[in-house]
Amino acid sequence: MRIEGLPGVGAEITDVDLRQVTGDEMDAIKQAYAEHGVLFFRDQDLSEDDHIAFGERFAPININRFFAAHPDYPEIAMVAKEADQKDNIGGGWHTDHSYDVEPAMGSVLVARVLPETGGDTFFASMYRAYDTLDDATKAEIEGLNAVHSAKHIFGSQEQTYYNTTDAGGGRIGNAAAADVLEDVVHPVVITHPLSGKKALYVNPGFTVGIAGMSKEQGAELLERLFAHAMKKEHAYLFSWKPGSVAFWDNRSTWHWALNDYHGQRRIMHRITLEGCALH
């Protein structure tokens, strides 16, 4: 097995078969995951059962509340866009599950049907985003907490992602669960539970304010942090091919699925793994 760091964020791991990972390989994968934030594998041949078994070697599976499930495997969430659909899932910078008290650790995403062109996914390093902040901004955000919410995305009130896009027509659902989900706070800067490194933990998808600040003040600070974090030098654009698998960490990375393949089908299978409280 070989591990090669990529520019911006992530590492590519080659010469490994995810259906039969040895104990030593598993240790190396865990270490690379903590360090690089997202791992990419090519030319894999995972059945649904293999996909689930690989995920379960890291952590228990979180069954997604909002995404349509695979018809035969409730553990697998469908990240799908049909040829006649307009909106995609994850089509803006975000990190999954930051609206939970104990945000999911990460996901293992397997490509099943790919468009002939487009459909790449951007990833960005929140370790790098934090490390490259200027000292004044680091001091400014020290000790602050941010507010995270799922309501404006998965909820049913006006102008949510759920009811303003065609993804609400069955690909995502259970809006009532989002409506009653309490907003949560997490530190703006976390110490990563696996690596011990500091990471910026706010994201444009689900972070809606800064605890103790007015809406305007919080929005101003978040806009500044987002503009910095999304700089191209912290990011890597992953091009999916048949057999590609990505395994990302929600605490140290963001991702953004490009929606540039209209008229073509893209079907991905996602397993999400349970995480822990963040400090």
d(CA 275, CA 250): 9
Q: What string marks each residue from 52 to 91 as x (binds Mn ion by CB under 5 A) or -? A: --------------------------------------x-
Up-side HSE of residue 126: CA atoms within 13 Å toward CB? 30
Q: How many CB atoms neighbour CB 37 within 10 A?
A: 30
Is 37 a binding residue for Mn ion by CB under 5 A? The answer is no
Q: What string marks each residue from 98 to 137 as x (binds ligand OGA by CB under 6 A) or -? A: ---------x-x-----------x----------------
Tokens of residue 83, six digits: 């040829």
d(CA 16, CA 23): 12
Alpha-carbon 198 to chain mean position: 18
Place of tokens 């503009």: 227
Segment 72 to 91, residues that bind ligand OGA, using CB under 6 A: 79, 89-90
195 binds, among Mn ion, ligand OGA, none (CB under 5 to 8 A by kind): none
Place of tokens 């907003």: 183
**Burial class of residue 60 (count of CB atoms within 10 Å of its CB; 0-12, 13-18, 19+):** exposed
Is 270 a binding residue for ligand OGA by CB under 6 A? The answer is yes
79 binds, among Mn ion, ligand OGA, none (CB under 5 to 8 A by kind): ligand OGA
Q: Answer yes or no: 279 catalytic.
A: no
Is 96 a binding residue for Mn ion by CB under 5 A? The answer is yes
Is 96 a binding residue for ligand OGA by CB under 6 A? The answer is yes
Is 249 a binding residue for Mn ion by CB under 5 A? The answer is no
Place of tokens 């960005």: 124
**Among the options 70, 94, 97, 266, which is catalytic?**
94
Q: Name the minimum Å distance from CB 257 to Mn ion.
A: 7
**Among the options 36, 51, 96, 234, which is catalytic?**
96
Q: Answer yes or no: 270 catalytic.
A: yes
Place of tokens 């996909």: 51
d(CA 124, CA 6): 11
Residues noted as catalytic: 94, 96, 255, 270
